[in-house]
Amino acid sequence: MESRTEFKIKTPPSDAISAVEFGPNSTQFLLVSSWDSTVRLYDIHANSMRLKYNHELPVLDVAFQDAVHAYSGGLDNTLKMYDINSNTESIMGTHEKPIRKIEYCGAVHAILTGGWDAAVKLWDPRSPTCVGTYLQPDVVLALSVCGDKFVVGTAKRKVCIWDLRNMAGMFQRRESSLKYQTRCIKGFPNEQGYVLSSIEGRVAVEYLDTTQEAQKKKYAFKCHRIKENNVENIYPVNAISFHSTYNTFATGGSDGYVNIWDGFNKKRLCQFHRYNAGVAALSFSHDGSVLAIGVSYLNEVEIPPGGSNEESIYIRYVNDQETKPK
């Protein structure tokens, strides 16, 4: 489905998409990491691929540090830094097991990585070295910066909140309020809390503030479920991305839908049409005017649904009607 508000990116990766990320100050550049072991940079305005580099094994996440520096890591355990200006890559270091999540933290100008070795590492882009390794209770599945704190979601539904100003110990330790495996975590742009999604079609809105009043506001809701023949199919909620100004967020599920939510007013603002496979990755541009949607089959079931197993990245221009709280 092509229309004036949405188009597909040309020359997409040849295997599932693991992450999409817009550059920090423009809507022009989009980084995409993939299971085909590549990281690609696309020019959205021209709909062309600007560059591509390889890892040895599938890449699970990618992040911009600034407009010209990208960081990527994946099953090869290696954190790479890529200089987009000079087309050069360098290896920052490694985890003991695959790197699952990479985040740039503007508050301390550092890169955070979380891996299946149950560690979160902090990297100084300038030295460039690992300046700290912080053990987590279990395999890291989700990681998001939230102001000067960051939130780690691990296997066994653990949630750890760390304060970058004091990394001597965990700042808060929680258990996910959802009953099933944590799939994705994203911090609110206003730094008050975070949104956590699980594999069981459910999303929780949580607050960092531990006072009673703040905690009273937390809630969870069901989504990304489809009823077929009296059986409700419940899909993992794979991706969350925040609109930086409105504090609304988009969720993408393996059901192939993208929903946009107003978390403070507990309202769904809109739902897009169904994509041809599950939504694996989402990224709003810095100004919230564009949403990149990575669509891939992620082996949720043994046999890919409908046989359509192609990877695509959609670019959708969104308007206030879809993203602004009513």
Partner 1 sequence: MGRKKKKQSRPWCWYCNREFDDEKILIQHQKAKHFKCHICHKKLYTGPGLSIHCMQVHKEAIDKVPNSLPNRSNIEIEIYGMEGIPPNDAKEHERQRNGGRPGSPSSGEDEPAPKKAKPEGLLGSAPGAMPTGSNMMPGVMSGMQGHPGMPPMGQYPPPMHPMMGHMGHVGPPFMGHGNLHPRSMMQGMPGMPPGMQPPVSGASMPPARPLFPSAAAVSTAATSTSASTPLGADFKPITSIAGGSIGPIKPTFPAYSGSENSAVTSTNSSEQKVNLIATTGAASKIIHPSEDLSLEEIRARLPKYQRRQSEESRPSQPDATQQAAALQQQHQQQQAAAATAAAAFQDQHQRQQAALSALQQQQQRFQRPPQAVMVPASAAMPVSSVALMAPLMRPTMTLAAPALIHGGNMMRPPPMGLPPGMIGALPPGAMHPAFAAPMGFPGAPMLAPMMHPRFR
93-122: contacts with partner 1 (CB under 8 A): 93-98, 100, 106-110, 116-119, 122
Stretch 55-84 residues interacting with partner 1 (CB under 8 A) = 56-58, 60, 67-69, 75-78, 81-84
265 touches partner 1 (CB under 8 A): no
12 touches partner 1 (CB under 8 A): no
217 touches partner 1 (CB under 8 A): no
Partners of residue 160 on adjacent β-strands: 152, 173
Closest approach, Cβ 203 to partner 1, in A, equals 15
Closest approach, Cβ 226 to partner 1, in A, equals 9
171 touches partner 1 (CB under 8 A): yes
88 touches partner 1 (CB under 8 A): yes
C-alpha distances in Å from residue 127, one per residue of 93, 133, 164, 318, 324:
12, 16, 18, 39, 41
* Amino acid at site 258: V
CB atoms within 10 A of CB 57: 14
Stretch 122-161 residues interacting with partner 1 (CB under 8 A) = 122, 124-133, 135-139, 141, 147-148, 155-156
192 touches partner 1 (CB under 8 A): no
191 touches partner 1 (CB under 8 A): yes
User: In this complex, which beta carbon is closest to partner 1, that of residue 112 or of residue 313?
Assistant: 112
User: In this complex, which beta carbon is closest to partner 1, that of residue 127 or of residue 307?
Assistant: 127
Distance between CA atoms of 171 and 162, rounded to whole angstroms?
Answer: 5
Q: Which residues contact 146 (CB under 8 A, 6 or more apart)?
A: 187, 188, 191, 193, 194, 208
# of chain residues touching partner 1 (CB under 8 A): 134
